[in-house]
Amino acid sequence: MSHYPTQKDNPPPYGMNLPPPGHPQAVLQQPVAVVVAGPQLGPRPTRVQCPSCHAEVTTKVEHDTTTKTHIIALILCLVGCCPCALIPYCTDSCKSSSHHCPSCGAFIGSYSS
């Protein structure tokens, strides 16, 4: 006696539905990715609702140096403008902006140009 595979032996992959027995067409459904968009943050303080304390606040922004900041400074040194290499460390547009809630201190998001 031979053994034929059944739905019980081979369950469908996660997120896929098999048609009922005898149905002429197979209907396959792919899982759907859901992307939750947060507030639109920029380099300046932004008015948002804090996801932690749910207060309507204007974010507190901290500017942090990034790899981009160091690369710009290195390029300025290599070009021969060593005194100008400090400019990226003094300019907020060469840094990333971290937004925090002023009420509870929770991290809300970051922005880098």
Res. 1 pLDDT band, cuts 50 70 90: low
Q: Could you tell me where the DSSP H helices lie in 12-98?
A: 67-79, 87-90
User: Which neighbouring-strand residues pair with 111?
Assistant: 97
CB atoms within 10 A of CB 83: 8
pTM of the model: 0.60
Residues 6 or more apart from 39 whose CB is under 8 A from it?
46, 48, 49, 108, 109
Which phi and psi (to 5°) does residue 23 adopt?
Answer: -75, 135
Confidence category of residue 17, pLDDT binned at 50, 70, 90? low
Span 27-80, pLDDT tens digits: 555 565 544 456 688 899 999 999 889 999 999 999 999 999 999 999 999 998
Higher pLDDT among residues 53 and 82, named by residue: 53
